[in-house]
Structure formats: structure tokens, C-alpha cells
């Protein structure tokens, strides 16, 4: 799986977007019956929209192609609120995992090491995706290569050891 980082998008903008997507994924995994998590998710989307508007004001429309999921912020907010309510009503953890997986994948593909770490766990545990330990290890390896200590430790503890002498 290759990271799909658009070279025309500012690395700083991509980093902020990736971190926000990771936070949204975490917030979805932690949804409770109250609305506190929904507020967090909605605020993250608003911050992304603000970032896009600020970027557009500073650099014209050069980055517009990098924000396809945020083109219509109000529609996005309504869709997310409706989806959260649907998940709460159905109480289906599987659907929550699928939603969180989408955001962790976006984060990881933009190069966020925490997103890679979380995506690896989703693949290992089969949360929101079919279990795939190989995919988990690939994402953890990418995170390790970018300096993520927990990924390094996890990969070291699951690495095959040499044959023990009898």
C-alpha cells in the first residue's frame, strides 16, 4: 500500500489534515451515548474547513484539489452528525470500526505515523476491515521507519526468532 501524498499540497497542510483525521478516527472509536464525542468530531471538521479557507486565502486555489472531502463543509458536518446518530441508535460497534478505519486510512496515507500505528491495529484486530496481520506489519513498518517507537517495539516483539537450540 503506497502513501498517496499529493506533492502539490503543502507538507504542513497535509500533516495537519492527517493528524486531524487520526483524531477523528480515535473519537469515533470512543463514541459514547452522550454528545461529547460528536462535538469533538464536528470541531475537527470545522478546524479542517478553517485550515482550507486560510490556505485558499494565502495561496489562491492551488490546493483545492487536495481537499475533496471538505469542499462542502456544511454538508459534511450534516452527514457526519447524521452518521453519528445512526451509529448511536443502532449501537453497532462494527459500523463504528468501519467509520474509524476510513479516517485512520486517510491519516496514514497522508504520512501521519499515529495514523499508521492505529491503522495497523485495525488490520491486526479486524476492526472495520478483514483481519490482515501482513497489512498491520506493513503499516507498522512504515511508522517505525518514520521513528514511531511503539511500532518499533511491537515489530520487535512479533518478529520471528532464530531457531532455538535443543
pLDDT at residue 164 is higher than 90 = no
In the chain, the largest separation of any two C-alpha atoms, in whole Å, equals 69
Res 165: pLDDT: 37
What is the model's pLDDT at position 115?
Answer: 95
- Whole-model pTM: value is 0.59
pLDDT of the residue at 116: 96
Domains of the chain, residue spans: 11-158
- List the Cα angle 143/13/7 in 5-degree steps: 75
d(CA 105, CA 101): 6
Q: What CATH architecture is 11-158?
A: Alpha Horseshoe (1.25)
Across 117-142, average pLDDT? 95
> How does pLDDT run across 57-92, given as a tens digit for each residue?
655 544 445 555 455 555 666 777 777 666 666 555
Cβ atoms < 10 Å from Cβ of 33: 8
Strand locations in 23-126 (E): none
**Cα(164)–Cα(87) distance, integer angstroms:** 49
Give CA–CA dist 164/99, Å, rounded.
Answer: 43
Amino acid at each position: 500500500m503506497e502513501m498517496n501524498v499529493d506533492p502539490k499540497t503543502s507538507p504542513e497542510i497535509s500533516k495537519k489534515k492527517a493528524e486531524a483525521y487520526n483524531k477523528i478516527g480515535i473519537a469515533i472509536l470512543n463514541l459514547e451515548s452522550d454528545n461529547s464525542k460528536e462535538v469533538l468530531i464536528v470541531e475537527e471538521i470545522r478546524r479542517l474547513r478553517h485550515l482550507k479557507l486560510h490556505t485558499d486565502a494565502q495561496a489562491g486555489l492551488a490546493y483545492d484539489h487536495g481537499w475533496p472531502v471538505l469542499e462542502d463543509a456544511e454538508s459534511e458536518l450534516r452527514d457526519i452528525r447524521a452518521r453519528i446518530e445512526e451509529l448511536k441508535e443502532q449501537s453497532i460497534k462494527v459500523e463504528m470500526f468501519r467509520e474509524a478505519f476510513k479516517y485512520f486510512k486517510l491519516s496514514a496515507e497522508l504520512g501521519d505515523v499515529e495514523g499508521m500505528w492505529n491503522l495497523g491495529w485495525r488490520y491486526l484486530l479486524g476492526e472495520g476491515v478483514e483481519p490482515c496481520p501482513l497489512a498491520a506489519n506493513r503499516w507498522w513498518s512504515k511508522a517505525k521507519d518514520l521513528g514511531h517507537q511503539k511500532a518499533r517495539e511491537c515489530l520487535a516483539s512479533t518478529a520471528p526468532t532464530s531457531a532455538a537450540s535443543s
